[in-house]
Structure 1
Amino acid sequence: MTIEIRPKPSADLKLREFSMLIGGSWGKGAEGRTIERIAPSHGVTVSRYQAATRADAERAISVARQAFDTGPWPRMTASERSRILLKVADLIADRAEELAFLDAIEAGKPISQVRGEIAGSVDIWRYAAALARDLHGESYNTLGDGTLGVVLREAVGVVSIITPWNFPFLIVGQKLPFALAAGCTTVVKPSELTSGSTLVLGEILLEAGVPEGVVNIIVGTGAEVGPTLTSHPDVDMVSFTGSTGVGRLTMANAAQTLKKVSLELGGKNPQIVFPDCDLEAFVDAAVFGAYFNAGECCNAGSRLILHKSIAGDVVARVAELSKKVKVGDPLDPSTQVGAIITPQHLDKISRYVSGAMEGGATMAHGGGALDLGLGQFMAPTILSDVKPDMAVAREEVFGPVLSVLTFETLDEAIRIANSVDYGLSAGVWSRDFDTCLTIGRKVRAGTVWMNTFMDGASELPFGGYKQSGLGRELGRHAVEDYTETKTLNMHIGNRTGWWMPR
Structure 2
Amino acid sequence: MTIDQATGIKAQSYQQWIDGNACDAASGERFTRSSPAHDIVVGDYPLADVADTDRAVAAARKAFDTGPWPRMSGAERSRVLFRVADLVETHKDQLVLADVLEGGKPITQVRAEIAGAIDLWRYAAGQARSQHGESNSSLGPHMLGLTTREPVGVVALITPWNFPFVILSQKLPFALAAGCTVVVKPSELTPGSALRLGAILDEAGVPAGVVNIIVGYGATVGQRLAEHPNVDMISFTGSTAVGKGIVRASAGNLKRVALELGGKNPQIVCADADLDAAADAVVFGVFFNAGQCCNSSSRLIVEKSISEEFLARVEALTKRVTVGDPLDEATKVGAIVNQNQMDRILGFVSGARSDGAKVRLGGTRMETAKGLFMTPTVVSDVTRQMPIATDEVFGPVLSTLTFEDLDDAISIANGTHYGLSAGIWTSRYESALKAGRELSAGTIWVNCWMDGFPEMPFGGMRESGIGREQGPHAIEDFMETKSVLFHQGPRTNLWVPAAGVGRQ
**What TM-score results when the alignment is normalised by the length of structure 1?**
0.97
Q: Deviations over 1:133-152 (max 9, x none)?
A: 10111111111111100011
Query: How far apart are the structure 1 equivalents of 2:35 and 2:292?
Result: 16
C-alpha separation in 2, matches of 1:9 and 1:431: 55
Q: Look up the match of 2:380.
A: 384
The correspondence for 1:62, drawn from 50, 58, 61, is: 58
Q: Residue 84 in 1 paired to residue 67 in 2? A: no
Q: Which residue of 2 aligns with 1:464?
A: 460
How big is the shift at 1:418?
Answer: 0.6
Give me the whole-angstrom Cα distance separating, in 2, the residues matched to 1:138 and 1:9.
63
The one of 122, 127, 130 aligned to 1:131: 127
For 1:479, give the aligned amino acid. Answer: I
How far apart in 2 are the matches of 1:340 and 1:441?
Answer: 35
State the partner residue of 1:16.
12
Q: In the alignment, residue 488 of structure 1 is paired with which amino acid?
A: V
Aligned to 1:405: 401
Match of 1:327, SS state, is coil
- Percent of pairs with identical residues: 55
Report the 3-state secondary structure (helix = DSSP H, G, I; strand = E; otherwise coil) of the residue aligned with 1:467.
helix
Instruction: Select the residue among 202, 207, 223 that pairs with 1:206.
Output: 202
- 1:364 pairs, out of 357, 360, 378, with 360
Count of matched residue positions in the alignment of Structure 1 and Structure 2 = 495
* Residues 444-473 of structure 1: CA deviation (Å, up to 9, x unaligned): 000000000010000000000000000000
SS of aligned partner of 2:323 = strand
| 1:424-443 alignment runs, 5 A limit | 424-443=420-439
Q: Could you tell me which residue of structure 2 aligns to residue 4 of structure 1? A: none
Residue type matched to 1:34 in 2? R
- Counterpart among 32, 36, 41 of residue 40 in structure 1: 36
Equivalent position amino acid for 1:364 in 2: R
Distance 2:6 2:212 in 1: 32
2:486 counterpart of 1:499: no
Contact 1:154–1:483 under 8 Å retained in 2: yes
In 2, Cα distance between equivalents of 1:179 and 1:150: 23
CA 1:280 to 1:225, structure 2 compared with 1: closer, same or farther past 3 Å? Answer: same
CA deviation map 1:184-218 (0-9, x unaligned)? 00000000000000011111101100000000000
Counterpart selection for 1:182 from 165, 175, 178 = 178
Is 1:281 aligned to residue 277 of structure 2?
yes
Per the TM alignment, residue 10 of structure 1 is displaced from its structure 2 partner at its CA by: 4.5
Secondary structure of the corresponding residue to residue 164 of structure 1: coil
1:484 aligns with 2:480: yes
2:423 maps to 1:394: no
Other-structure match for 2:115: 119
Q: Indicate whether 1:319 and 2:319 are aligned.
A: no
User: CA shift at 1:9, angstroms?
Assistant: 7.9
What's the CA shift string for 1:163-182, capped at 9, x where partnerless?
00000000000000000000
Equivalents in 2 of 1:348, 1:34: separation in Å? 28
* Structure 1 residues without counterparts, runs of 5 or longer: 1-7
Residue 291 in structure 1 maps to residue 287 in structure 2? yes
* Shift of residue 343, structure 1, vs aligned partner: 1.1
Identify unmatched segments of 5+ residues in structure 2: none
**CA distance, structure 1, for counterparts of residue 141 and residue 475 of structure 2:** 33
What value does the CA root-mean-square deviation take over the aligned residues? 1.1
Shift of 1:378: 0.3
Distance 1:393 1:356 in 2: 9
- Give the distance between the partners of 1:150 and 1:9, measured in 2 at CA: 65
**Greater RCO, CA 8 A, separation 6+:** 1
Q: Could you say what secondary structure the match of 1:145 adopts?
A: coil
1:5 is matched with: none
SS of residue in 2 equivalent to 1:49: strand
Q: Do 1:287 and 1:321's aligned partners in 2 also have CA atoms closer than 8 Å?
A: yes
How far does the alpha carbon of each residue in 1:206-239 deviate from its partner, in whole angstroms, 9 at most, with x for none?
A: 1100000000000001012111111111000000
Change beyond 3 A, Cα 1:79–1:241: same
Distance 2:14 2:335 in 1: 23
Amino acid at match of 1:305: I
Q: Is the 8 A contact 1:40 1:108 kept in 2?
A: yes
- Aligned counterparts of 1:364 and 1:96: Cα–Cα separation in 2: 40
2:142 to 146, 155, 170: 146
**Which is further off, 8-17 or 338-347?**
8-17
Question: Structure 2 CA distance, aligned partners of 1:412 and 1:164?
Answer: 34
Superposed CA deviations along residues 361-382 of structure 1, whole A, max 9, x for unmatched, are: 1111111111221110001100
CA contact (8 A) 1:328 1:372 kept: no
Secondary structure of the 2:10 match is: coil
Q: How far does residue 11 in structure 1 lie from its aligned partner after superposition? A: 3.2
Task: Go from structure 1 to structure 2 and tell me whether the alpha carbon gap of 1:10 and 1:134 turns closer, same or farther (over 3 Å shift).
Answer: farther
Q: What letter corresponds to residue 95 of structure 2 in structure 1?
A: L
- Counterpart CA distance in 1 for 2:411 and 2:310 is 21
**Residue type of the partner of 1:95?**
H
Which of 234, 243, 247 lines up with 1:251 in the alignment? 247
Aligned to 1:104: 100
Distance 1:500 1:188 in 2: 56
Match of 1:336 among 332, 338, 351: 332
Give the 3 Å change call, closer, same or farther, for CA 491–460 of structure 1 in structure 2. same
Residues of 2 paired with 1:308 and 1:10: CA distance?
51
How does the TM-score come out when normalised to structure 2? 0.97
In 1: Cα distance, 2:408 partner to 2:31 partner: 49
8 A contact 1:10–1:44 mirrored in 2: no
Q: How far is the alpha carbon of 1:161 from its aligned partner?
A: 0.3
Match of 1:445 in 2: 441
